[in-house]
Homo-oligomer: A and B are copies of this chain.
Amino acid sequence: MARWEPNAQERLVRAALELFTEQGYDTTTVNEIADRAGLTKTTFFRHFRDKREVLFAGQDTHTRLLADAIDAIDAIDAADGPVTPLEAVRAALDALTATFTDDRRDVGTRLRPVIAGHTELQERAALKRAKLTEAVTDALHRRGVPEPTASLAAELGIRAFYDAFDQWADPASEQTLTELTRRTLDELRAALAALD
């Protein structure tokens, strides 16, 4: 058995979001999600522990992408002079946002109202955000960036990503998530100058 199902995770995410949107998160079962995706329940559980986790599918990949992008900077560093903490964060965000291609925008659009409607999902979403921030902070520490600079740079970068994601998830939006995140980070950086 255990056939390889092409793109199973993405199909399950899309099927779950369709069902959550149509009939609500609470009433949707794992069986229904697997059926809608044309997959078995066994395949579902190979990818996700429960239906809640479908909504946070990317957590491990995303933390790894952020950390790997920062860890990979060393080579560039030697050639082009020191990379600042915020430049490292920018590189990490570019790596992360490159995976949110525009054909996935509708996933973002559907995700937001489902999470907004459930305290349990908001808490889980807050944990994911904290994990992404931690991954960036830890990677900056490995580059020798001290506290509190490392965590401040990480918080600013992850905030830029989430603010930009909200804009990207708007069906009327035409920019890529990479463009939106870069612009938002620039705006946040500029706003710091107005603090005092």
Contact = CB atoms under 8 A, between A and B. Distances in A.
State the main secondary structure of chain A at its contact with B: helix
B84 A149 contact: no
How many chain copies? 2
B191 A149 contact: yes
Given A85-B195, A86-B196, A153-B195, 10 more contacts: A84-B196, A85-B196, A148-B163, A149-B194, A152-B188, A152-B191, A156-B195, A189-B195, A189-B196, A192-B195
A87 interface: yes
Interface in A141-196: 148-149, 152-153, 155-156, 163, 187-189, 191-192, 194-196
Contacts of A148: 163, 187-188, 191
A190 to B, nearest CB: 9
A126 interface: yes
A80 to B, nearest CB: 14
24 contacts: A84-B195, A84-B196, A85-B194, A85-B195, A85-B196, A86-B195, A86-B196, A87-B196, A126-B126, A148-B163, A148-B188, A148-B191, A149-B191, A149-B194, A152-B188, A152-B192, A152-B195, A153-B195, A155-B155, A156-B195, A189-B195, A189-B196, A192-B192, A192-B195
Contacts of A87: 196
A48 to B, nearest CB: 21
Nearest to A83: B196
A74 interface: no
A90 to B, nearest CB: 9
Most B CB atoms within 10 A — which of A126, A188, A196? A196
